[in-house]
Amino acid sequence: MIDLVSYATFIAACTALILVPGPAQALVLANTLVGGRSAGALTAIGLNIGTLFHAMAAALGLSAMLASSALAFAVVKYIGAAYLVYLGIQALRAKPQPTPAAGTAHLSPSPLTQAMLSGILNPKVALFFLAFLPQFVDPGRGSVMSQFLLLGATMAVLDTLYELALVATFLRMRKRLLSNSRFLACQSKLSGGILIALGLRLAIQER
């Protein structure tokens, strides 16, 4: 069992980190823009399934392999970047929605799948967890795996709640945006541009 003081410190640190804008929030907002509330919510859930994956990977030592192998890091990084760019190109090629009243568009693959793969295929997240989580794990207080999973689940829940709040807030702005015919015409291009930018950002990141 994690010491309560350490756990409270972890929650405070997670909250501070989650509030810093980053690519995860950009993906949530991009999918909310195109697909509405359900797409944004599924994106938030998918990203944090990725969070749980990386917490387990850190516990099992897989993240250490990425940290020690430049080749493994590069392979995962470029696969993740290529996937995001592919999604962006698909969005750019999508036809504008003919009726603003519909308000949502079908995303393929699903927002849940997009977000899961985007989260899992980001080696920077793996290295972050490898550096961050062990600071709050004490082998003398029980199963290390259980502690890693508890910390990962805590961060996933906090991040999901925050991103769902972003979705709820952004939906109000989205309704106004979708009433603008010019914006509606470039909706998919904006979403595609965000995804391509995220992919390129990942591709140029160093360990």
Give the whole-angstrom CA distance, residue 157 versus residue 81.
Answer: 26
pLDDT in tens, the chain (207 residues): 788 888 999 999 999 989 888 888 889 988 888 888 999 999 999 999 999 999 998 888 877 777 778 888 888 889 988 988 988 888 787 665 544 444 555 566 789 998 999 889 888 888 888 888 888 888 888 888 889 899 999 999 999 999 999 999 988 887 777 666 666 566 667 778 888 888 888 788 776
C-alpha 87/C-alpha 33 separation (Å) is: 15
Taking the model in full, what pTM does it have?
0.79
Tell me, what's the pLDDT at 8? Answer: 94
Q: Can you give the pLDDT at residue 102?
A: 46
How distant, in Å, are the alpha carbons of 29, 77, 96, 179, 201 from that of 135?
31, 25, 48, 49, 28
